[in-house]
Amino acid sequence: MDTLQTGDSRQSFLLLDLIEVGVLVIEGESLLFANSAFLRTVGLERSALQGHGLRELAGESWIDFTLGQSWADALPWPMADGSDRWFEVSLQPSLFGGRPVQIATCTDVTTRMRAESAEASMLQMLTEIIESYPVGTFVLDREHRISHCNRACEIITGLSANDIIGRDDAGLALGVARGEWLADKVMGPVDEAFLRQRYQGRFWPSPTAEGGYEAEMFFPAHGKQSARWLHAAAAPLRDATGQIVGAIETLIDITARKAVEAELQNAHQAAESLVAERTRELQSAKSELERDIARREELELTMHEHLREVTRLNSELHLAQDQLIQSQQQLVQNEKLASIGQLAAGVAHEINNPIGYVFSNFGSLQLYLDDLLGLLDAYVAAEGMIGDEALRASLAALREKIDLAYLKEDVLDLMRESREGIERVRKIVQDLKDFSHVDASADWQWVDLHRGLESTLNVVNNEIKYKADVIRDYGVLPQIQCLPSQLNQVFMNLLVNAAHAMPEGRRGSITVRSRAEDGQVRVEIEDNGSGMAPEVMQRIFDPFFTTKPVGKGTGLGLSLSFGIIRKHHGRIEVSSTPGVGTCFTLHLPVQQAGDAANSDPDIPTGAEERS
């Protein structure tokens, strides 16, 4: 931006800067000055104009305008964000410092220009929509002149758009007087009496367009157009203030439909005559048919009664058959478990006998070894009192050879490890007996669920230890009244299934969680295995349903578990997400109701909390 250095120029610039409308001082292609109002509008600092000409800042349109080579209503000023700011510019020649310049007063009209652009775009879009619309359509302006007529309308009316656009009497060629198109009538107060006469009653308000009407009218043949029926639909067009500025009308050829309606009317009349004749014939047969129907209804009623009875008996038979099958399967499973329990108890008894005397002998052996080690220490202490030098040297050499200090330490370690191994065997045998409960009666008992869980975990340890880590999250539980061997069976089924759910190549975790709540206990067995799809989860308690390969599963484990929990007046819930894992939740009452609750009313307090 060039500058004028004279005092008068600076004073003039100061005055121009006080004006609230944008003002530019232009000399040729140079921008000498821009006031603050203009700079605020275009978002520039005054320093940003230094060293830049008008062409660089505003573009060719401003140069052409200031040089009088073009005329425009508004000029665009490029903004930093890529948009344009539009100004209505008026030029006033003047002298500044003796130099001829032009003072440009710039009024911001951006809002108006954008609105006009949007209106023009909308008008263009509407024109394209009307032209491409496959239904004959024309538009009337405020003066009832045709302003648009699409190709479909030309085909239907046989009139060229070039011949009728701009005219208000184009309908004369079709027998439509000036101002009598349906579109003409909806542009003002609708005269329904005229419409009734004009369309012989075939008109009605539009169900979709406010203030619109539809009608059917017959056009006689003219030119190359044959006589035909047209369906017309017209609606007023309104501006933003709601004022009517025109109307639109569509025309659809319904000649074929009218011909079909006429044929249908003739057929209807013929059918009515035929129906009247047939009605008389049918009346005579109706009485006989009614009597026959009455006899049939009585017979059908009897048959329905018999059918309902057969259906009821069949349902009861199926139910009894299903219950028998489940009872048989549970009996077989229980017998298998009882046989396994007896075998386990027998094995445990046979192991307990040798383990008992081994454990007893091991205690005596420990005492003997302690005495021998004490005697050996005494011998070592007395070694210095031997007078024979050669004998002392021989004993020292022998002690060093056998590494007596290490031997004394190692033999104690061996004894301790052996004792731990024997105790481990005794624990496994006891857990096996606890799991099988063959030495218990079949009556309901007060038991510690944590003990049952631990014995079951020990029994199935070989199934789990290579696939998952077991996390115990035990709460404080009261002892509960139950059939312990059957609950152990449920625990075993759920723990083995959790281990089998672990994907190949990934070690998972199984969380066993217990809590007490409102006269019940809750046991959760949760894994982070492969999970189940919803369609599988819906069927897991069905007998013989299994997702394991043939020969790997019977499909009875969860079905029997469901029956055992229900027998305990509890419930079993399951939640699972594919790829995340599965959680089975058992809810069991602390004390059984009815005949089962015949034990000591002082319920034991239960096991300590484990984690």
Asked whether residue 429 is domain-assigned, the answer is: no
**Residue 314 sits in which domain range?**
303-397
pLDDT value, residue 242: 86
pLDDT value, residue 558: 84
Same domain for 137 and 97?
Answer: no
Same domain for 481 and 588?
Answer: yes
Calculate the average pLDDT of the chain. Answer: 82
pLDDT value, residue 148: 86
7 pLDDT above the threshold of 70: no
pLDDT value, residue 106: 93
Same domain for 225 and 332?
Answer: no
* Residue 123 or 65, more confident: 65
435 pLDDT above the threshold of 70: no
Asked whether residue 330 is domain-assigned, the answer is: yes
**161: CATH:** 3.30.450.20
1 pLDDT above the threshold of 70: no
Query: HSE-up of 472 (CA within 13 Å, CB side)?
Result: 12
Same domain for 387 and 474?
Answer: no
Same domain for 447 and 537?
Answer: yes
φ, ψ (nearest 5 deg) of residue 94: -160, 175
Whether the Cβ atoms of residue 247 and residue 187 lie closer than 8 Å to each other: yes
Same domain for 175 and 247?
Answer: yes
Same domain for 561 and 480?
Answer: yes
pLDDT value, residue 481: 94
pLDDT value, residue 605: 38
Cα separation, 277 vs 452, whole angstroms: 89
Mean pLDDT of 381-407: 81
Cα separation, 141 vs 127, whole angstroms: 14
Which of 332, 366, 397 terminates a domain? The answer is 397
Asked whether residue 416 is domain-assigned, the answer is: no
Q: What is the pLDDT of residues 533-591, one digit of tens each?
A: 888 888 888 877 676 665 455 567 788 888 889 999 999 999 999 999 999 999 999 99
pLDDT value, residue 329: 61
343 pLDDT above the threshold of 70: no
Same domain for 243 and 312?
Answer: no
Whether the Cβ atoms of residue 582 and residue 540 lie closer than 8 Å to each other: no
Which of 56, 80, 114 terminates a domain? The answer is 114
Same domain for 89 and 137?
Answer: no
Mean pLDDT of 445-453: 93
Q: What is the length of the chain?
A: 611
Q: What is the pLDDT of residues 185-197, one digit of tens each?
A: 899 898 888 888 8
Token pair for 528? 């982070």
* Residue 381 or 610, more confident: 381
Name the nearest CA neighbour of 542 among 331, 335, 326. Answer: 326
Torsion angle (degrees, nearest 10) of CA 253, 259, 265, 271: -140
Banded model confidence at residue 438, pLDDT cuts 50, 70, 90: very low
Asked whether residue 298 is domain-assigned, the answer is: no
Asked whether residue 280 is domain-assigned, the answer is: no
Instruction: State which amino acid sits at residue 585.
Output: T
Cα separation, 405 vs 426, whole angstroms: 32
pLDDT value, residue 394: 85
- Listed ranges 158-167, 416-425, 517-526; the one with the highest mean pLDDT: 517-526
333 pLDDT above the threshold of 80: no
Mean pLDDT of 344-353: 66
Cα separation, 348 vs 459, whole angstroms: 13
Asked whether residue 276 is domain-assigned, the answer is: no
Mean pLDDT of 516-534: 93
Banded model confidence at residue 608, pLDDT cuts 50, 70, 90: very low
Q: What is the pLDDT of residues 482-512, one digit of tens each?
A: 988 889 889 988 999 999 999 988 999 999 9
pLDDT value, residue 9: 64
52 pLDDT above the threshold of 90: no
* Residue 351 or 507, more confident: 507
Same domain for 39 and 98?
Answer: yes
385 pLDDT above the threshold of 70: yes
pLDDT value, residue 265: 87
Q: What is the pLDDT of residues 258-270, one digit of tens each?
A: 889 888 988 888 8
Q: What is the DSSP letter of 222?
A: B
* Residue 211 or 544, more confident: 211
Q: Is 491 helix (H, G, I), strand (E, B) or coil?
A: helix
Torsion angle (degrees, nearest 10) of CA 419, 424, 427, 428: -140
The b/e string for 554-580 (b: 16+ C-beta within 10 A; e otherwise) is ebbbbbbbbbbbeebebebeeebeeee
- Listed as own residue / partner, the contacts of 127-133 with beta carbons closer than 8 Å and 24 or more positions apart are none
Same domain for 566 and 476?
Answer: yes
Same domain for 549 and 485?
Answer: yes
pLDDT value, residue 126: 72
If one counts the domains in the chain, the total is 4
Cα separation, 188 vs 213, whole angstroms: 12
Asked whether residue 38 is domain-assigned, the answer is: yes
- Listed ranges 243-252, 346-355, 602-611; the one with the highest mean pLDDT: 243-252
233 contacts: CB under 8 Å, gap ≥ 6: 182, 206, 209, 212, 213, 214, 249, 250
Which of 253, 273, 294 terminates a domain? The answer is 253
Asked whether residue 158 is domain-assigned, the answer is: yes
Token pair for 380? 């070592």
**Burial category of 23 from C-beta neighbours within 10 Å (exposed 0-12, middle 13-18, buried 19 and up):** buried
pLDDT value, residue 318: 79
pTM: 0.37
Banded model confidence at residue 49, pLDDT cuts 50, 70, 90: confident
234 pLDDT above the threshold of 90: yes
| Percent of the chain predicted with pLDDT > 70 | 85
